[in-house]
Amino acid sequence: MTNRKMIDNVILLIGRNPGVLAGLAAALVNEGYLVRTTDLVEQASSQFNAAEINLIAFGRGVDAVTNARLRADFLSQNPEVLFVDGLAPVIPLLVRQIKQALSGNQTVERTLIKFTCQPTRQLEVDVTVTEACRLTIEVYELDAVHTSHQQTLVSTYVSAGTHTFKIDGQYAVSSTISFLVAGVDNGELLVLPIGPNKPLQL
C-alpha cells in the first residue's frame, strides 16, 4: 500500500540532463512521491508555482546565480518549500538526499563537518564528526553506460574528532565516474568525486 504521507509530497526536479531527471523521477515515483521535472532551468519559477510543491531539487548543472534567483522566486511563492542541491548524478544517492530532506530530521548543528581524501596508491580518507555516531563510507560508481554500483567500504562507530581510513585506490580508476560518500546515522551526507573524469551534470 502506498504511504499517504509520501504521496502528499510533491517534488520538483530542475536540471539540465534529461536522462538523469527521468531516471530520478522514476525512482522517486517508485517510492510513492509525486514528481514534476523540467530541464528549462531559467524558466522554472514561471513554469511552476511552489505553493503546490513541497521540495525542489537542483541538479549540479544549475549554476549558483541561477540557483539563488530561482530559490528567491520560489520562496516568494511558498516560504516553507524545501530545497536540495544534488551532490552527485547518482540516482540512489539523490533519492537518499531527498528522502532525508523530507523526513524533517534536518538539524542546524551538523555532525559530519569534514570529509577529504588524498588519491595515493591507497585513498587516505579523513572524516571529522562533532559527536559519537555510526559512520559509513561508501563508494558509488557509474560505469560506461551510467549504471550505478554501490559498495560499503567502512561501517563503524566513532567518537567525536577526526578519523583516518585507508581505502584501496582501485576505486579511483575502476569506473567512468566514482564518488565517495560519508554518512552518519542522522542521515547527513558528504560526497567527494574521485577518479580521472569530471562528474556528469544532473
SS (H, E, C) the chain: CCCHHHHCCEEEEECCCHHHHHHHHHHHHHCCCEEEEECCHHHHHHHCCHHHCCEEEECCCCCHHHHHHHHHHHHHHCCCCEEEECCCCCHHHHHHHHHHHHCCCCCCCCCEEEEEEEECCEEEEEEEECCCEEEEEEEEEECCCCCEEEEEEEEEEECCEEEEEEEEHHHHCCCCEEEEEEEECCCCEEEEEECCCCCCCC
In this structure, are 84 and 140 located in the same domain?
no
pLDDT value of residue 158: 97
pLDDT at 171: 54
Q: Has residue 79 been placed in a domain?
A: yes
User: Does residue 10 belong to any structural domain of this protein?
Assistant: yes
User: What pLDDT was estimated at residue 4?
Assistant: 39
At 7 the pLDDT is: 46
Domain boundary among 55, 84, 102: 102
- The answer as to whether 187 is a domain residue is yes
Q: Which of 55, 76, 102 is the last residue before a domain boundary? A: 102
Residue where one domain finishes, among candidates 60, 77, 102:
102
Domain tally, the chain: 2
CA-based radius of gyration for the chain: 18
**pLDDT tens for each residue of the chain, 202 residues long:** 344 344 478 999 999 989 889 999 999 999 999 999 999 999 999 999 999 999 999 998 899 999 999 999 999 999 999 999 988 888 888 998 898 888 876 556 789 999 998 766 677 899 999 999 999 999 888 776 667 788 899 999 999 999 999 887 555 445 567 888 999 988 888 988 876 544 444 4
> Please, are residues 117 and 100 in contact by the beta-carbon 8 Å criterion?
no
The verdict on 79 and 126 lying in the same domain is no
Same domain, 11 and 97: yes
pLDDT of residue 195: 65
Q: Does the residue 201 lie in any domain?
A: no
Strands 161-168 and 122-129, bridge-based pairing: antiparallel
CA 139 to chain centre: 13
Which residue range(s) make up the domain with 43?
4-102
What residue type is assigned to position 96 of the chain? R
Q: What is the CATH number of the domain that holds 190?
A: 2.60.40.10
Positive or negative torsion for Cα 197, 61, 139, 155: positive
CA-nearest of 81, 80, 106, 112 to 14 is 81
**Are 67 and 46 found together in one domain?**
yes
CA 82 to chain centre: 14
pTM here? 0.77
pLDDT at residue 196, rounded to an integer:
54
Judge whether 199 lies within some domain: no
